[in-house]
Structure 1
Amino acid sequence: MNAATGPTKLARSRRRDNVQLYLIMLPVLLHIFIFSYIPMYGIVIAFQDYYPGKPFLSFDGSVEWVGFKHFVEFFTGPYFTRLVRNTFVLSFCYLIFGFWVPILFALLLHELRAGFFKKFVQTSSYLPHFISNVVVAGMVLSFVDADGIVNAFIRSFGGETIPFNTEPAYFATIYTITTIWKSFGWSSILYLASMSSIDPHLYEAAKLDGANRFGQMVHITLPSIRPTVFVLLIFAIGSLFSANSEFIMLIYNPSLYETADVIGTYLYRDGLLGGRFSLGAAVGLFTAAINFALLAGANALSRKYTDYALW
């Protein structure tokens, strides 16, 4: 009897000790439940011909179920290939060229010893994250305009004006560079937090073994933040079909649709502005399913080959 009640009392004691932690989690859990789980029943309109005012579910026959009609319409539509290609290319470019930038920045910042300069650089790198996408888009458009600073720089070296605003070939480069600049400082916070938890005695032992600063970074710092790197990489792979549609809508125009039109902008243009809510729900459900499949696949591969995984 005593042996059976011992673990139970211990579990109750731990729950009482963690009440404050549970209360801290409660607002977040409520937010997720209200804004992420409750609206999920709305995906049923992807299988209906829905228009505002009709019920999502009804037993009187007023709901017109159409099965996979909207999915087939999207898959066989004239823009499907372009939308999927552009979404994947823009997200993949950011993954390849932007994922390692916060890691490198955090490593360099971690090696700085000057307190004031280190804090200044760190704080400055966070600022772009808090600048509105509208402001950033305005800056980008003014920079790449025919009379902007980029073309002025090109002309100063004897080059000709490049029509960045109307030339589709340059959009992926502009989007990737801008997104990296806006996010690398903020994204480095998790890596810096992981580095701050590294045992200082490991660096002292490495010094005794003759390791210089670069050797300590390679053999101590990088292996210590490896779990964080792999977890964030899994999340990045799981969002390959979620390009920053809000920012893209602010900097693109019809002449750039060939390389700039993505699934998110199509959803806004045809699903919301066009009033085709069922089609929009179907496309959104398709995107979510692809992202989940990528996330699950990346997680399985990471668990198999690195022992780091989300579950």
Structure 2
Amino acid sequence: MKPVPQTAVRAKLVRGGIWRKNWQRDKYLLLMIAPVLFYYIVFHYVPMYGVVIAFKKFHPIKGILGSDWVGFLYFKQFFQSTYFVRLIKNTLLLSMNSLFWGFPVPIIFALLLNELKDSLFKKTVQTVSYLPHFISIVVIVGMLVNFLSPLDGIINILLTKLGMEPINFMAEPGYFRTIYISSGIWQGFGWGSIIYLAAIAGINPQLYEAAEVDGASRWQRMRHITLPGLVPTIVILLILNLGNMMDVGFEKVLLMYNPQIYETADIIGTFVYRMGIENGNYSFSAAVGLFNNVVNIALLLAANYLSRKYSETSLW
């Protein structure tokens, strides 16, 4: 048996000493974070093993290990199905429009809110703008159904008063994206502005004082100081949003859509739900969901690469 080199022994002792030292220093912090790590390991990482059913003809009685291996059969079926183009189109259009119209709103709101001098009014506006975020998606959709009802909805009552015919908005494919995006902006812009307000608060106030001494107007200070100070935060959040491009709000779409508007409302998330939960085709739905996640990861990596290449900000 060969003797262990002294250098290796010393290195092992040093590593052990570092671990003990870190434990003694941060043991309470590590204990506090332990439940969170346990949650993510048990409910997020362990279930990832189930992805293998996308490559098997899963049968509940046989189980995952006992089911027959079919390889990429279900991926091919999805790519060749009549739903493929419609699902990709609807998912991308809904997410891209949500990003295009919804992403700038919290930024603009934070910039305008930052210019308010009356602190009481500013806090009131902030509080009111945050409130919709805490309303359940189910309640939001219920409000939409009531407001847009063709019989007694407030919108159709106004249209009738103006001499127009009532419209069944929730059953018209052409209105779905507008309703989904506008209601999402209303619900999330106040909450989304918090991180931008925090970034603005971190900008050195001496820059504003120097600009004011030099005669810069409020618009010029916003343009040349506040906006550049927000750029790193904007880039990071944009990358994260691009990484979730294929993950449209599944719960809200599921509550809003019906067979009459599948043409514009049916997305990958709702298709996976129908195939897996309603039809019991677990392997096929797992394959579609895995494809969706792979595309998301590819978009995230591409967005981060481009950001790192053309700017000084990136996730890693």
TM-score normalized by the length of structure 2 = 0.90
Residue in 2 aligned with 1:150? 155
Q: Which runs of 5+ in 2 are unaligned?
A: 1-10
Residue in 2 aligned with 1:66? 70
Kindly provide the CA deviation profile for residues 129-184 of structure 1, in whole angstroms up to 9, marking residues without a partner as x.
11111111011011112131112222333332222122101111011001111111
Deviation at 1:25, TM superposition (A): 3.7
Query: Does residue 31 of structure 1 match 2:35?
Result: no
Kindly provide the CA deviation profile for residues 82-105 of structure 1, in whole angstroms up to 9, marking residues without a partner as x.
111111111111000000001111
What is the SS of the residue equivalent to 2:203? Answer: coil
**One-letter identity of the residue aligned with 1:306:** S
Residue in 2 aligned with 1:102? 106
- Report the CA distance shift for 1:10/1:68 in structure 2 as closer, same or farther (over 3 A): closer
Report the Cα distance in structure 1 between the residues aligned to 2:117 and 2:22, rounded to whole angstroms.
41
What is the SS of the residue equivalent to 1:210? Answer: coil
**Contact 2:239/2:303 (CA < 8 Å) preserved in 1?**
yes
What is the SS of the residue equivalent to 1:256? Answer: helix
Residue in 2 aligned with 1:197? 202
Residue in 1 aligned with 2:242? 237
Query: Does residue 220 of structure 1 match 2:225?
Result: yes
* Aligned ranges 1:115-154 → 2 under 5 Å: 115-147=119-151, 148-154=153-159
Q: Percent same amino acid at aligned positions?
A: 50
Report the Cα distance in structure 1 between the residues aligned to 2:207 and 2:21, rounded to whole angstroms.
36
**Contact 2:199/2:230 (CA < 8 Å) preserved in 1?**
yes
- Report the CA distance shift for 1:9/1:37 in structure 2 as closer, same or farther (over 3 A): closer
Residue in 1 aligned with 2:56? 48
- Report the CA distance shift for 1:10/1:31 in structure 2 as closer, same or farther (over 3 A): closer
Report the Cα distance in structure 2 between the residues aligned to 1:198 and 1:254, rounded to whole angstroms.
50
Query: Does residue 308 of structure 1 match 2:313?
Result: yes
Deviation at 1:19, TM superposition (A): 4.7
Rg: which structure is higher? 2
Query: Does residue 274 of structure 1 match 2:279?
Result: yes
**Contact 2:141/2:252 (CA < 8 Å) preserved in 1?**
yes
TM-score normalized by the length of structure 1 = 0.91
Residue in 2 aligned with 1:181? 186
**One-letter identity of the residue aligned with 1:263:** I
- Report the CA distance shift for 1:24/1:122 in structure 2 as closer, same or farther (over 3 A): farther
Report the Cα distance in structure 2 between the residues aligned to 1:128 and 1:23, rounded to whole angstroms.
35
What is the SS of the residue equivalent to 2:216? Answer: coil
What is the SS of the residue equivalent to 1:225? Answer: helix
